[in-house]
Amino acid sequence: MAQCGVASRRKSEELIKAGVVRINGVTIYEPGFPVDPKKDQIIVSGKELNEAVKVYIMVNKPKGVVSTSEDTHGRQRVLDLVPINERLYSVGRLDMDTEGLLLLTNDGDLTFYLTHPSHEFEKTYVGRVKGCPDENSLESFRHGMVIEDYRSAPAAIKILKMDRDTSLLEMRIHEGKKRQIRKMCAAMGHPIIDLKRVAMGNLTLGRLKPGEWRYLNNDEIIYLKGEKKW
**228 or 69: which leads in pLDDT:** 69
Query: Each residue of 102-134: pLDDT tens digit?
Result: 999 988 888 888 887 777 689 999 999 999 999
Give the pLDDT of residue 230: 40
Angle at Cα 202 formed by Cα 100 and Cα 58, nearest 5°? 40
**Sequence-distant (≥ 6) Cβ neighbours of residue 150 within 8 angstroms:** 177
Band (pLDDT 50/70/90 cuts) for residue 92 is confident
- HSE value, Cβ hemisphere, 13 Å, CA-based, for 156: 9
Give the pLDDT of residue 229: 45
Q: What is the mean pLDDT of residues 18-42?
A: 85
**65 or 113: which leads in pLDDT:** 65
Q: Find the catalytic residue in 40, 71, 95, 107.
A: 95
Give the pLDDT of residue 37: 67
What number of H helices and E strands is found in the chain?
Answer: 5, 15
Task: Provide the strand spans (E) within 25-165.
Answer: 26-27, 42-44, 47-48, 56-61, 89-90, 99-105, 123-130, 146-147, 150-151, 156-162
Give the pLDDT of residue 3: 58
> Does the active-site annotation cover 71?
no
**137 or 2: which leads in pLDDT:** 137
Q: What is the mean pLDDT of residues 91-99?
A: 92
Q: Are 129 and 90 in contact (CB under 8 A)?
A: no
pTM of the model: 0.76
Is residue 222 within a helix (H) or strand (E), and if so which, with residue range? helix 218-224
Closest residue by Cα to residue 220 from 210, 209, 228, 212: 228
Cα of 73 vs its chain's centroid, Å:
21
User: What percent of the chain is modeled with pLDDT above 70?
Assistant: 92
Give the pLDDT of residue 63: 95
